[in-house]
């Protein structure tokens, strides 16, 4: 027996809102790309679920539409997403030029939040957490049914707070519990302290650094470049996505000391912006391997109910107009390391209780990229000294 469904007012409203698409179908567009027809199918599916799904408390318009939005955005690329009002407020709290957290980047893999990178010299790395570790529980809460944003919400918190992670290491099948204390990492304060100690040159290690917010990358560049210097631009399909981003007008009291930036395949996003700008503007020599190549820009637009959509709208370009997405940033001096060398070095440097002498021993034995960076700095400093203006004797 054929069933007929009368759509209630909200579903009809959905159809009405998109009726303009039916009147303005572009020439050459197929029926599959007709907005009105596709919204009609969606509205019918929505009402079927509301009418017959077994658990009525899961079929509110709010829940179903939110779920549809999440699915729609996540289907575009790994970086696009729908955020409910709570998620959006949390994201706004993160738009500061400092990093409060554990030092890990996570993504969903096989249905579980999985560590992509544990950044060096952070609580996660010092505890021994490695790339590929799967997060089974956060503060005792199972992650089995969490989506990525839910996991991030639980992981997020103020500096100084403690968090307990239960991790599975697939390579060894070992399950281990870690209690970490969130730390705050500030580049400006670290540079100030080094300058007080008489810093003459600097190595900025961006290896396995997944980057972060665009404005944070620009702020990092501002620590080493003159005020009002363009460091990155974005280009997209529409004029509103064409932007230049420059360092602030505030002058930094820092010398033009020789500089090397270390990069590898784990350097991504904001780290690539920094490396590309410092290379193109001849402020630093890049040593290591070509970076990951994640150079897409996500635009965040708030919706009337306080939720928001974040989706990719443009790509990053370095000052010399090199596109980062898919290409990465290439080093001036290429120094490769094997996967075994990289794992060994990472484990040694994050073992905890490291003395300066231990650090030197590790560099000499296990870190060819750091050794090459030191050699490059020494060469630059010798050249600068030999070509510095000589003081002339005053004739009497």
- Would you tell me how many other CB atoms lie within 10 Å of the CB of residue 133? 26
Burial status of residue 144 (CB atoms within 10 A of its CB: 0-12, 13-18, 19 or more) = exposed
* Angle (nearest 5°) at CA 49 between 46 and 53: 165
d(CA 272, CA 291): 7
The catalytic residue among 40, 80, 216, 269 is: 269
Q: Residues with Cβ < 8 Å from 380, sequence gap 6 or more? A: 201, 258, 285
Which residues on adjacent β-strands are paired with residue 184? 100
The catalytic residue among 40, 267, 279, 294 is: 294
Catalytic status, residue 396: no
d(CA 219, CA 99): 13
Q: Residues with Cβ < 8 Å from 252, sequence gap 6 or more? A: 222, 223, 227
Catalytic status, residue 133: no
Nearest Cα residue to 220 out of 283, 172, 158? 283
- The answer to whether residues 174 and 141 touch, using CB atoms and an 8 Å cutoff, is no
φ and ψ at 259, to 5 degrees?
Answer: -145, 140
Catalytic status, residue 280: yes
d(CA 199, CA 223): 14
d(CA 163, CA 152): 12
Q: Residues with Cβ < 8 Å from 165, sequence gap 6 or more? A: 129, 135, 137, 138, 177, 178, 179, 180
Computed over its alpha carbons, how large is the radius of gyration of the chain? Answer: 26
Active site members: 269, 280, 294
């Amino acid at each position: 027996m054929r069933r007929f469904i009368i759509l209630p007012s909200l579903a009809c409203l959905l159809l009405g809102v998109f009726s303009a698409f039916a009147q303005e179908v572009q020439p050459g567009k197929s029926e599959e790309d007709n907005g009105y027809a596709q919204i009609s199918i969606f509205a019918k599916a929505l009402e079927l679920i509301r009418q017959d799904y077994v658990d009525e408390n899961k079929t509110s318009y709010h829940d179903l539409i939110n779920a549809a939005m999440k699915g729609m955005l996540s289907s575009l690329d790994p970086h696009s997403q729908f955020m409910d009002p709570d998620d959006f407020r949390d994201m706004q709290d993160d738009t500061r030029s400092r990093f409060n957290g554990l030092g890990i980047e996570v993504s969903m893999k096989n249905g579980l939040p999985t560590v992509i990178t544990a950044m060096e010299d952070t609580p996660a790395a010092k505890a021994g957490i490695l790339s590929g570790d799967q997060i089974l529980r956060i503060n005792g809460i199972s992650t089995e049914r969490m989506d990525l944003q839910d996991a991030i919400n639980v992981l997020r918190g103020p500096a100084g707070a403690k968090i307990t992670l239960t991790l599975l290491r697939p390579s060894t099948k070992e399950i281990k519990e870690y209690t970490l204390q969130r730390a705050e990492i500030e580049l400006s304060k670290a540079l100030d302290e080094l300058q007080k100690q008489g810093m003459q040159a600097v190595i900025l290690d961006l290896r396995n650094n997944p980057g972060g917010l665009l404005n944070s990358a620009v702020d990092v560049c501002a620590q080493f470049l003159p005020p009002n210097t363009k460091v990155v631009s974005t280009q997209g399909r529409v004029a509103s996505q064409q932007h230049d981003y420059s360092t602030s007008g505030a002058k930094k009291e820092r010398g033009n000391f020789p500089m090397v930036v270390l990069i590898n395949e784990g350097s991504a996003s904001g780290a690539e912006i920094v490396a590309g700008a410092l290379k193109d503007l001849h402020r630093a020599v890049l040593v290591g391997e070509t970076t990951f190549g994640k150079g897409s820009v996500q635009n965040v637009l708030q919706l009337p109910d306080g939720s928001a959509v974040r989706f990719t709208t443009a790509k990053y370009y370095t000052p010399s107009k090199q596109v980062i997405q898919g290409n990465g940033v290439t080093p001036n001096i290429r120094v490769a390391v094997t996967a075994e060398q990289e794992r060994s070095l990472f484990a040694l440097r994050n073992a905890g209780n490291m003395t300066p002498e231990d650090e030197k021993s590790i560099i000499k034995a296990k870190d060819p990229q750091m050794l090459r960076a030191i050699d490059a700095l020494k060469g630059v400093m010798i050249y600068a000294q030999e070509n510095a203006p000589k003081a002339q004797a005053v004739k009497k």
